[in-house]
Amino acid sequence: MAIIIDGKELAKKIRQDLKVEVDKLREKKVYPKLAVIMVGEDKASQVYVRNKSKACNEIGIDFEEFLLPSNITMEKLLELIEELNNRKDISGILLQSPIPKPLNIREAFNKIDYRKDVDGFNPINVGKLAIGEKSFISCTPYGVVKMLEEYNINPEGKNVVIIGRSNIVGKPVGMLLLAENGTVITCHSKTKDIASVCREADILVAAVGIPKFITGDMVSDGVVVIDVGINRNEEGKLCGDVDFESVEPKASYITPVPGGVGPMTIAMLMKNCLTACKKQNNL
């Protein structure tokens, strides 16, 4: 029986600690504020933005939403980002992905001032992460390392296998765990015989986006499993990339979906927003 890594509970604890900090800032008349830009009407994005707004509310971080029509031009989107970069009352800027085609999300991320880039997607922050300098770490990877830390799982000297090489999850998780002295292998859609690579893992991070991609026969006894996936199964229910039923009995630790990495992502966004605010106010 594996120990279940309770992301929901841990995220709650982090939010409570952040609230104490925010209360102190507000007493000093410093008001952290998150600006969220959403383009178009993607249903999943609407849910994510609502959850972010709720978390801000609970902690005391001000929240301003910018809902743009899906036919907005790139020029207008960049203009808005520039305006938010310059606004003194905005601590952090988040552009909710995806944005409709033909808009270029990379160009938009590049435009966000790296000091307000609470999602950690600006190339300056990505570069800093790669060379081990302090930066805004994107929220999901940050949540993953925080969970390992809280459960005293030290990646040093461990075989870490990551499935997925996206810029928002797989790659930054790999850089973070490498910095913590893990021996990191990143698998992707062109990797041959993923199952045998996975069986070498002491720590396995699944960020593929395919329901039940990792099955019990692909893991070794005692593995620590972090399931980043958020998918819908045939019945429309939320599920991860890991087949929990067959993997959990072999694992030493495992994250559930929902209630694992998801809530941690939002908690780390709040943390980044607070860090940005404090830096901007020389605190």
Instruction: Check binding of 165 to ligand NAD (CB under 6 A).
Output: yes
**Cα distance between residue 30 and residue 278, in whole Å:** 9
Instruction: Check binding of 188 to ligand NAD (CB under 6 A).
Output: yes
Do the Cβ atoms of 224 and 203 come closer than 8 Å?
yes
Residue 210 Cβ vs ligand NAD, minimum distance, rounded to whole Å: 6
**Cα distance between residue 259 and residue 197, in whole Å:** 27
Instruction: Check binding of 187 to ligand NAD (CB under 6 A).
Output: yes
Instruction: Check binding of 261 to ligand NAD (CB under 6 A).
Output: yes
Catalytic residue among 6, 119, 227, 243: 119
Q: Take residue 43 and report the two structure tokens written for it.
A: 């249903």
Would you call 52 a catalytic residue per the annotation?
yes
Binds ligand NAD (CB under 6 A): choice among 36, 81, 148, 168: 168
- Residue 71: is it exposed, middle or buried by C-beta count within 10 angstroms (0-12/13-18/19+)? exposed
Instruction: Check binding of 164 to ligand NAD (CB under 6 A).
Output: yes
Query: In 10 A of CB 168, how many CB atoms?
Result: 18
Query: Rounded to 5 degrees, what are φ and ψ at 180?
Result: -95, 20
Residue 239 Cβ vs ligand NAD, minimum distance, rounded to whole Å: 9
**Sheet holding 62-68: strands in order across?**
62-68, 33-39, 92-95
Residue 7 Cβ vs ligand NAD, minimum distance, rounded to whole Å: 9
Within 214-233, which residues bind ligand NAD (CB under 6 A)?
228-231
Instruction: Check binding of 169 to ligand NAD (CB under 6 A).
Output: yes
Query: Rounded to 5 degrees, what are φ and ψ at 231?
Result: -130, 170
Active site positions, annotated: 52, 96, 119
Which residues contribute to the site for ligand NAD (CB under 6 A)?
140, 163-166, 168-170, 187-189, 191, 194, 207-210, 228-231, 261-262, 265
